[in-house]
Amino acid sequence: MASLVDSAWTYVITNFSDFQLACLGSFFLHESVFFLSGLPFIFLERAGWLNQYKIQTKNNTVDCITRLLLYHFCVNLPVMILSYPVFRFMGMRSTLPLPSWKVISTQILFYFILEDFVFYWGLRILHTKWLYKHVHHEYATPFGLTSEYAHPAEILFLGFATILGPAITGPHLITLWSWMVLRVLETVEAHCGYHFPWSLSNYLPLYGGADFHDYHHRLLYTKCGNYSSTFVYMDWIFGTDTGYRKMKALKSEGEEMSMKDM
């Protein structure tokens, strides 16, 4: 199996330059994962399937798709191209040998921890009055594709949290792609608008997920809290999830009372 993977990767690096793989390859991988994971939630909503798991009853429009593509091509792609020399300087490579799964998983765990910390404070800054009004939040009822629907300034500001870890460590391109795929899937899931019985937040401690982040979008900027990106420990440490935990407690009490009445 390892030799097969090595052979496939040898073909890739032989036919494409480092620049093509790191910039164009990363961009098209990102677009593929983002739209393939985000679009199904629009179809679910339009068809009315699995509505019992929908967090908010309001349906959304898909007007954001054109602007999303514009932002991706005019902001995300140029950032990937301009940051390429930094990643190369820090040691990013695409050559063989490929990193072990232990190295990949250790680096990605570091990226998640660092991204959570930086993203939390960045999002709190965006929830100051002026920035919230002029830069942040257009959708109070999020769905998968709104996870990257943001003002260009916000894309750059919060995107810094995502690329900081890889920029520091200079990983193998496989590690960078793995991180990018996981991060895209996580943010789409957090904005999907559905909380399923199989949602990861039901099984993985400290993982936020859609229910946690949907609360952040529903309330006014001065009251929302839940600023964390992937894991919720930053909100727990700084007490910015108090309103959410109270709401969950009241909901649980209401469900218990309903069961007793039955």
Q: How far apart are CA 171 and CA 94, in angstroms?
A: 9
Length of the chain (residues):
262
Please give the structure tokens belonging to residue 9. Answer: 């990767």
Q: What is the mean pLDDT of residues 11-27?
A: 97
Q: What is the pLDDT of residue 138?
A: 65
Q: What is the mean pLDDT of residues 60-82?
A: 91
Q: How far are the Cα atoms of 19, 121, 134, 178 from residue 189, in angstroms, in the given order?
A: 30, 21, 26, 17
Which has the minimum average pLDDT: 90-94, 143-147, 235-239?
A: 143-147
pLDDT in tens, 235-244: 999 999 999 9
Which has the minimum average pLDDT: 85-94, 147-156, 175-184?
A: 147-156
Q: Is 59 exposed, middle or buried (0-12, 13-18, 19+ CB in 10 A)?
A: middle
Question: pTM to 2 decimals?
Answer: 0.93
Q: 188: number of CA atoms within 13 Å, CB side?
A: 21
Q: What is the mean pLDDT of residues 97-110?
A: 97
Amino acid at 74: C
Q: What is the pLDDT of residue 132?
A: 81
Q: What is the mean pLDDT of residues 41-57?
A: 92
Q: Which residues pair with 207 in a beta bridge?
A: 231
Q: What is the mean pLDDT of residues 27-42?
A: 96
Q: How far are the Cα atoms of 4, 31, 163 from residue 177, in angstroms, in the given order?
A: 19, 12, 11
